Structure 1
Amino acid sequence: MNLMRWSARLTGAPWRATPPSGAGSDRAAPSGDAVVVPGPRDPTSPAGPVDTPEALDPTGVLDPHRPQDLREVLNRIPAPVAVTYGPLHQLGYANRAYRELFGERPTGLPACDALPELGTLGVLPLMDQVIRGGSPRSVKARCILGLTGNRYYNVSCVPLTRDPGRTGPGGAPVLSTQTSDDPTSGVLVFAAEVTDQVLAAARLRESERRHREAAVTLQRSLLPQKLDQPADLRVAATYQPGGAEAAVGGDWYDVIAIGGGRTALVIGDVMGRGLRAAAVMGQLRTAVRAYARLDLPPHKVMSLLDGLAMEIDANQIATCTYAVWDPQGRTLGYASAGHLPILLRCPDGTVLRSEEQNGPPLGTGGGVHHLSHTLRLLPGTTGVLYTDGLVERRDEDIDQGLDQLARTLTGAVGSPDVVCARLLRAMGVTSEHDDDVAVLVFQLPAEEESPEWRRALDSAGREV
């Protein structure tokens, strides 16, 4: 099979030209087995026979200004190359690198017999597509087993066209990579080894996996292992880290028993990702537990946390809601530092959203602007504290997520742990979710409702 003029660039093989050597000579000849891929040639200049020594310069190196035998060029390429022809992809030629990698291959046989390794790599279907469509096709990072260690290659299939009026030994067509209106008659298969890149990428993924596991372990260890269960309040919480592609964030929750039979409920979210965010979260959570026992109003706790957050890391901010349930007056006092509103489901299914003014996030120096608010709750009320991962989506406004959560909560009945599970499921939070999610659900025991309690709920929202 004759392979005629080289006139197209192989995928993955850069152009190489011999640099000028200075005055008095056209080009300097490279030494050894250096390969020179032909550069542009003046079509009006005389061309010697393709298969004669005139194609070489006096040093035996391919002359870039003369037409070359494609076999000679391919044989000098250190990457595996094979050329096939016909709809059955009969093997016409395999270069030295191909034979050294896979052994001698019989020419004239279909690729499924002569080149079984291409079938293993999933390249044969691509070759069919090249014959039908006349466009190059490629696959990336395919592993060749059975060699010394696993080796990975990017494999490209380039269409070849028939050189009209010429045939090679045994009637094989003369093929060329030149652009032509003739249908594709053959395929040039070129493999570029990418083993080092694949192994480096695998090491990077493994490093990222270990880093993420460490962050998740730290995150979970800093969250409460068991929630306090007050006699007059049922609580449940859940934390769902982001999927494998997402770095762990700084979401947290807590339930703290304080003096006078009261209970503090906390939800927070440190901006950022990774070990640093988890570490900052742990420090803030510890501080909240200490400040809660000072019997301070919620906005005072927020002010202290703001100052601490600035000391920990002036470049990292956090949002937080701190609420205190007082069973004596059935009141929920709370303050919010830039966090999402509390949702409350009344016994009749009505969902209320706290709309009072938020203070600035923690770590911004705006602690003096925080305010405390008070709500009076009916028996049987269910409340939900949550982080933005539950309602925020890249392709929609966060208000849409809040509305969807409110609709979901309307029908979410059952114990707090059942409500947690239903909210996660309805909001599409799975193990592959792209953000961390923390949810804290509290529920007042149902009692006989009275007009007094309903009037108390209607008058909710006074500031202190």
Structure 2
Amino acid sequence: MNLMRWSARLTGAPWRAAPPTADEPVTVPGPRDPVVPPGLLDPCELELLNDQRDVLRRLPAPVAVTYGPQHQLGYANRAYRELFGTRTIGLPAADALPELSTLGVLPLLDQVLRSGRPRAVKARCILGLNGSRYYNISCVPLGADTNAPIGVLVFAAEVTDQVQAAGRLREAERRQREAAVTLQHSLLPQKLEQPADLRVAATYQPGGADAAVGGDWYDVIGIEGGRTALVIGDVMGRGLRAAAVMGQLRTAVRAYARLDLPPDRVMGLLDGLAMEIDANQIATCAYAVWDPATHSLHYASAGHLPLLLRCPDGTVLRGEEQNGPPLGTGGGTHLSHTLRLLPGTTGVLYTDGLVERREEDIDQGLDQLARTLAGATGTPDVVCSRLLRAMGVTAEHDDDVAVLAFQVPLEPGASGV
């Protein structure tokens, strides 16, 4: 092993040469050492270990050298002894270096001798007089022939600052996520309106701890003539910004709905507003108006996933897929569509977190959702729960999910849905 070349790549504290001291002996096995098989170390290898002593004692980081199949301790520099205390030269590592077992390093010594390749562990915590300190510990083969190492060099590079910085970053991200979740929940309806002629339920599931909160939202709005507006949307992006944009769009939808505008007109106004809020932020949205007088659903979509309808006979239909462009893109044309719904029909509006999976075509998720909806009988709140469960949405899901389910009541005397 070319120690000088390898040492130049070591990470940790900067080089600071320390003067050699007489109290740092190096012990290597003699040719008749009963612990080491005869012939393990030839004169060249003995000379190699002695030559490395002067280099190792100058390293500011903790270093120890073991030799032989039992990993007897041959050397521990001052930094190693200051970190772990005095160590007895010549004893097997299991006895001389008990800290290696605690840190999970001891098994690596065998691996290095067998393979001739370095092994390492990262960010191991060591409790000292100055509190917790963290080290990356490397085990490197020693010997003129790396195919048959005579020993192992154990090197500890301190990474306390990096670990603590990463911890502070994680804590800041946790606080930001909690703030975003709180904002998200505060902007969603605390209680859905419940029209007399339409049953509705909705649910929102934030992503897991590793997923930043997005801008999913839903709403149910009563408008003139006994009609009901149903809204679902998804602001692209994550974090507080997405949640804040979502809140502004939701407020605008409520205002536009009460102006009794057709769905395509509402989408056009939202598109312009989204561009004013943030030209770099886009969103998808579906807006539908249920008219109980005509049993009609009028709706428009701005780049959102298709509406799914479960007919009373269990057939599942997808809404018109001729969508307008997402909100915030500007200049697009949005179209209104009309569907007549039979009593007992169940409809579902949802965001992409429900059906989108990594390395999987979204059509597969849509097909699975349609199959699930076909058998998801019950009230809208039951339907929401069944869809989340069947689609594998849990508290650790990698994206937030919003689902809005509505159901046209059966005629009096008809059988249940």
After superposition, the Cα gap between the structure-2 partners of 1:32 and 1:395, relative to the gap in structure 1 and judged at 3 Å, is: closer
Residue 274 (structure 1) shift: 1.4
Listed one character per residue, the Cα deviations across residues 149-207 of structure 1 (whole Å, up to 9, x for unaligned) are 100000011122xxxxxxxxxxxxxxx3x3354x3332111110000111011111111
SS at match of 1:335: strand
Q: Aligned partner of 1:179: which letter?
A: D
1:283 pairs, out of 221, 243, 248, with 248
Q: Which has the larger radius of gyration?
A: 1
After superposition, the Cα gap between the structure-2 partners of 1:81 and 1:294, relative to the gap in structure 1 and judged at 3 Å, is: same
SS at match of 1:296: coil
SS at match of 1:352: strand
Separation (CA, whole Å) in 2 of partners of 1:67 and 1:408: 69
Report if the CA contact (8 A) 1:12-1:192 is conserved. Answer: no
Residue 401 (structure 1) shift: 1.1
Correspondence 1:139 to 2:121: yes
Correspondence 1:179 to 2:150: no
What is the aligned partner in structure 2 of residue 190 from structure 1? 155
Separation (CA, whole Å) in 1 of partners of 2:176 and 2:266: 33
After superposition, the Cα gap between the structure-2 partners of 1:383 and 1:5, relative to the gap in structure 1 and judged at 3 Å, is: closer
Listed one character per residue, the Cα deviations across residues 66-87 of structure 1 (whole Å, up to 9, x for unaligned) are 9972111101101111111222
Q: Spell out the pairing of 1:215-294 with structure 2 (5 A cutoff).
A: 215-294=180-259
1:13 pairs, out of 2, 10, 15, with 10
SS at match of 1:421: helix
Query: RMSD in angstroms over aligned alpha carbons?
Result: 2.5
Separation (CA, whole Å) in 1 of partners of 2:88 and 2:2: 24
Separation (CA, whole Å) in 2 of partners of 1:349 and 1:11: 70
1:110 pairs, out of 92, 102, 113, with 92
Residue 356 (structure 1) shift: 4.4
What is the aligned partner in structure 2 of residue 322 from structure 1? 287
Correspondence 1:340 to 2:305: yes
Residue 447 (structure 1) shift: 2.6
The alignment of Structure 1 onto Structure 2 pairs a total of residues equal to 387
What is the aligned partner in structure 1 of residue 338 from structure 2? 374
1:399 pairs, out of 363, 367, 374, with 363
Report if the CA contact (8 A) 1:250-1:280 is conserved. Answer: yes
Separation (CA, whole Å) in 2 of partners of 1:351 and 1:147: 68
* TM-score (normalised: structure 1): 0.79
Correspondence 1:127 to 2:91: no
Listed one character per residue, the Cα deviations across residues 419-438 of structure 1 (whole Å, up to 9, x for unaligned) are 11111111121222221211
Report if the CA contact (8 A) 2:17-2:59 is conserved. Answer: no
Q: Aligned partner of 1:237: which letter?
A: A
Report if the CA contact (8 A) 1:405-1:423 is conserved. Answer: yes
SS at match of 2:260: coil
Correspondence 1:154 to 2:136: yes
Report if the CA contact (8 A) 1:6-1:69 is conserved. Answer: no
After superposition, the Cα gap between the structure-2 partners of 1:113 and 1:415, relative to the gap in structure 1 and judged at 3 Å, is: same
Report if the CA contact (8 A) 1:240-1:437 is conserved. Answer: yes
Listed one character per residue, the Cα deviations across residues 90-136 of structure 1 (whole Å, up to 9, x for unaligned) are 11111111111111111111212111111111101111211222221
After superposition, the Cα gap between the structure-2 partners of 1:5 and 1:419, relative to the gap in structure 1 and judged at 3 Å, is: closer
Report if the CA contact (8 A) 1:359-1:366 is conserved. Answer: no
After superposition, the Cα gap between the structure-2 partners of 1:67 and 1:87, relative to the gap in structure 1 and judged at 3 Å, is: closer
What is the aligned partner in structure 1 of residue 402 from structure 2? 438
2:392 pairs, out of 410, 428, 445, with 428
Correspondence 1:352 to 2:334: no
Separation (CA, whole Å) in 1 of partners of 2:141 and 2:5: 11
Residue 10 (structure 1) shift: 3.9
After superposition, the Cα gap between the structure-2 partners of 1:311 and 1:7, relative to the gap in structure 1 and judged at 3 Å, is: closer
Residue 31 (structure 1) shift: 10
Separation (CA, whole Å) in 2 of partners of 1:286 and 1:31: 63
- Structure 1 unaligned blocks of 5 or more: 15-29, 36-48, 56-65, 161-175, 451-464
- Structure 2 unaligned blocks of 5 or more: 21-42
SS at match of 1:69: helix
Report if the CA contact (8 A) 1:339-1:361 is conserved. Answer: yes
* TM-score (normalised: structure 2): 0.87
Report if the CA contact (8 A) 1:84-1:111 is conserved. Answer: yes
Separation (CA, whole Å) in 2 of partners of 1:119 and 1:180: 24
After superposition, the Cα gap between the structure-2 partners of 1:287 and 1:83, relative to the gap in structure 1 and judged at 3 Å, is: same
Residue 147 (structure 1) shift: 3.4
Q: Spell out the pairing of 1:160-175 with structure 2 (5 A cutoff).
A: 160=142
Q: Aligned partner of 1:138: which letter?
A: A
